[in-house]
């Protein structure tokens, strides 16, 4: 029941900002009104917020905290789903969340780094120039005159996140255990994945490591620049990073003023996304416009600048391969291949009828081809695909949820930059090139050469690996049973041999006793009958009892 306090607070804020207005005339509206009634009767009505409902929604998300702010950030990129006014209001959540006032930046730095700010910076602004869901950023100059930004985590935010995660897990459990669709959605597993992501986001040392890795991946690249991290003055709660000079990607007017090539900019964004996913397997998974800038240099061949690398995604080798093959098959309209791949990778059950699933995929995908991006909504496409695949018991793949979120960000960004972009024609050559490189004999030989040292290292463990494999496949139990049967047969044969030897010994003893009968008869004449009887009993016990 630890989620109850947070649930009460959420309902109080919903009542305070009258957010039930957003689902007026929708199914469930009356139930929500009834649920909020106690808060209105208790006096919350007097504290309610008036004014524009879009503004009230944005204020409510700010008061609820980071998880809700991030949801608002994602919504703000999907102008195809929202009214323009609502999208504009939510856009301020990207980097214009009200900042915290205490503790002061100097106190945070000294507590986190154990050093006075004067020993690090020649200049440090006391007011943040940007504030987002989990952190805010200050301008500064190092003693060596490098211009930097100082990012600090909001104090006390971990407690708020922990409460929200408890509430989300409770909701996920209700959905998973009480609804049929919950068994396919895997909401608990999705929440577990998100919990890992959000805690990583609250660790600036983890973000700094991600930033450094992404910077290495695109070192000397003319399509993406990632700023430098100053590790010697960074910690879990403070990160010092190179200050960049770029235009926010959402500032279309400023980009137009410098004659930016929007078509090239949009195509470059697609190229960066696929490069991160399929070549590096390390993709920036929080690509809302507040984290993306465009360099002021060379506007005809524009370069992106990426910041805030707290959320990074990666795929397993199997997911990566199946995803690429699925996209390639969809782009080539090979729906039979799409259906076979979904069965092969376990996204739909093995008993799925391929021809029926093929027909269903064709009915969803075919209408979207040969259309510019402005006429295609991947968000709606994902919904349609999931609804269609649900007939075939398709389950949500939690490992791909983060990638799907990133796809929504990329699409929303593409819509703003160049609505005429044909994503299919832009992405198809990349995927074909990926497949060609993957099947290149020289690349295959190179991978074999890379793995040879690992195979040599594993040779001593090969017998145990074979035993383990046999155990997993159920063969070891059969082998053990056969060995036990053989051992039992051998023991039975040995026992017969031992019994035969004992019988031969007994017969020899009896023969010897028979030959001694005359002498024994003479001797027994002088031996009491009891003694003779005991002697026979002893002979019986020694020779005939096992």
Using the 8-state DSSP alphabet, how is residue 78 labeled?
-
User: What is the C-alpha separation between 363 and 361, in angstroms, rounded?
Assistant: 5
Same domain, 432 and 366: yes
Domain annotation covers residue 470: no
Q: What is the dihedral of CA 233, 238, 239, 245, to 10 degrees?
A: -110
Which CA distances in Å does 139 have to 240, 377, 443, 462? 10, 38, 46, 57
Domain annotation covers residue 51: yes
Q: What's the number of domains the chain is made of?
A: 4
Domain annotation covers residue 473: no
Same domain, 179 and 220: yes
**Buried b vs exposed e over 510-535: b needs ≥16 C-beta within 10 Å?**
eeeeeeeeeeeeeeeeeeeeeeeeee
Same domain, 264 and 249: no
Listed residues 259, 293, 322: the one ending a domain: 259
Beta strands in 223-380, from DSSP E residues, in sequence order = 224-225, 238-242, 246-248, 283-284, 292-295, 304-306, 312-313
Same domain, 188 and 222: yes
Same domain, 326 and 417: yes
DSSP 400-419: HHHHHHHHHHHHHHHHHH-T
Listed residues 94, 120, 145: the one ending a domain: 94
β-strand pairing of 246-248 with 292-295: antiparallel
Domain annotation covers residue 16: yes
Whether 200 contacts 206, CB under 8 Å: yes
User: What is the C-alpha separation between 371 and 362, in angstroms, rounded?
Assistant: 16
User: What is the C-alpha separation between 402 and 205, in angstroms, rounded?
Assistant: 21
Listed residues 259, 283, 298: the one ending a domain: 259
Same domain, 294 and 424: yes
Same domain, 253 and 269: no
Domain annotation covers residue 497: yes
* Whether 468 is catalytic: no
Domain coverage including residue 534: 493-544
Same domain, 58 and 202: no
Domain annotation covers residue 65: yes
Domain annotation covers residue 460: no
pLDDT tens, N- to C-terminus, the chain (546 residues): 677 888 888 888 888 888 888 777 776 677 778 888 887 776 544 566 667 888 998 998 888 888 888 778 767 766 656 777 888 888 888 767 888 888 999 999 999 999 999 999 999 999 999 888 788 999 999 999 999 999 999 888 888 888 888 888 888 888 777 766 666 667 787 788 778 878 888 899 999 999 999 999 999 999 999 999 999 999 999 999 999 999 999 899 999 999 999 999 988 988 898 899 888 999 998 887 888 999 999 999 999 999 999 888 888 888 888 888 888 887 788 889 988 988 887 778 888 889 888 898 888 777 776 666 567 666 666 667 666 766 777 766 656 767 777 877 777 787 788 888 777 677 778 788 877 877 767 666 666 666 677 767 777 776 776 676 666 555 555 555 655 666 666 666 666 655 655 555 544 444 444 444 454 445 444 444 444 444 444 444 444 444
Same domain, 165 and 187: yes
CATH number, position 198: 3.30.200.20
Domain annotation covers residue 477: no
Which CA distances in Å does 43 have to 33, 39, 52, 53? 15, 7, 22, 21
Q: What is the dihedral of CA 175, 178, 183, 184, to 10 degrees?
A: -50
Whether 272 contacts 224, CB under 8 Å: yes
Same domain, 279 and 370: yes
Same domain, 307 and 433: yes
Q: What is the dihedral of CA 52, 57, 63, 64, to 10 degrees?
A: 160
User: What is the C-alpha separation between 7 and 166, in angstroms, rounded?
Assistant: 10
Same domain, 138 and 251: yes
Whether 289 contacts 416, CB under 8 Å: yes
Of the candidates 83, 286, 334, 457, the residue annotated as catalytic is 286
């Amino acid at each position: 029941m630890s989620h109850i306090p947070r649930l009460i607070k959420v309902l109080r804020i919903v009542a305070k900002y009258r957010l039930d207005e957003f689902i007026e005339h929708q199914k469930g509206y009356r139930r929500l009104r009834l649920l909020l009634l106690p808060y209105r009767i208790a006096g919350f009505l007097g504290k309610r917020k008036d004014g524009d409902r879009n503004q009230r929604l944005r204020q409510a998300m700010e008061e609820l905290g980071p998880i809700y702010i991030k949801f608002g950030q994602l919504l703000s990129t999907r102008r195809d789903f929202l009214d323009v006014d609502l999208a504009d209001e939510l856009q301020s959540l990207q980097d214009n969340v009200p900042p915290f006032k205490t503790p002061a930046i100097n106190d945070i730095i000294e507590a986190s780094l154990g050093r006075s700010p004067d020993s690090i910076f020649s200049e440090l602004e006391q007011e943040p120039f940007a504030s987002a869901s989990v952190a805010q950023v200050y301008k500064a100059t190092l003693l060596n005159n490098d211009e930097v930004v100082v990012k600090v985590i909001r104090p006390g935010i971990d407690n708020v996140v922990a409460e929200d995660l408890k509430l989300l897990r409770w909701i996920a459990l209700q959905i998973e255990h009480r609804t049929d669709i919950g068994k396919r959605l895997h909401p608990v597993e999705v929440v577990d994945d998100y919990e890992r992501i959000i805690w990583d986001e609250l660790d600036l040392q983890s973000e700094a490591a991600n930033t450094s890795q992404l910077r290495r991946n695109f070192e000397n690249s003319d399509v993406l620049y990632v700023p430098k991290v100053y590790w010697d003055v960074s910690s879990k709660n403070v990160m010092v990073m190179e200050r960049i000079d770029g235009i926010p990607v959402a500032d279309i007017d400023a980009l137009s003023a410098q004659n930016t090539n929007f078509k090239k900019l949009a195509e470059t964004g697609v190229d960066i996304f696929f490069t991160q996913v399929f070549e590096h397997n390390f993709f920036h998974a929080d690509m809302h416009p507040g984290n993306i800038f465009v360099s002021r240099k060379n506007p005809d061949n524009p370069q992106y600048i990426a910041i805030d690398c707290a959320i990074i995604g990666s795929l397993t080798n199997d997911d990566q391969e199946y995803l690429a093959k699925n996209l390639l098959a969809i782009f080539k309209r090979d729906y039979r291949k799409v259906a076979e791949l979904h069965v092969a990778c376990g996204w739909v059950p093995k008993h799925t009828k391929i021809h029926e699933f093929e027909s269903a995929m064709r009915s969803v995908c075919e209408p979207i081809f040969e259309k510019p991006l402005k006429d295609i909504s991947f968000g709606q496409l994902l919904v349609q695909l999931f609804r269609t695949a649900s007939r075939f018991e398709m389950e949500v793949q939690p490992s791909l949820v983060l990638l799907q979120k990133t796809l929504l960000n990329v699409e929303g960004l593409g819509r703003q930059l160049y609505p005429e972009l044909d994503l299919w024609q832009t992405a198809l050559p990349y995927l074909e090139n990926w497949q060609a490189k993957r099947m290149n004999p020289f690349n295959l030989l190179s991978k074999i050469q890379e793995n040879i040292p690992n195979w040599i290292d594993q040779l001593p463990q090969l017998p145990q690996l074979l035993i383990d494999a046999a155990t997993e496949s159920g063969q070891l139990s059969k082998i053990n049973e056969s060995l036990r049967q053989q051992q039992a047969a051998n023991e039975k044969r040995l026992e017969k041999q031992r019994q035969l030897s004992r019988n031969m010994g007994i017969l020899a003893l009896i023969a010897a006793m028979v030959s001694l009968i005359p002498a024994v008869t003479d001797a027994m004449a002088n031996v009491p009958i009891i003694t003779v009887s005991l002697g026979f009993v002893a002979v019986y016990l020694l020779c005939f009892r096992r």
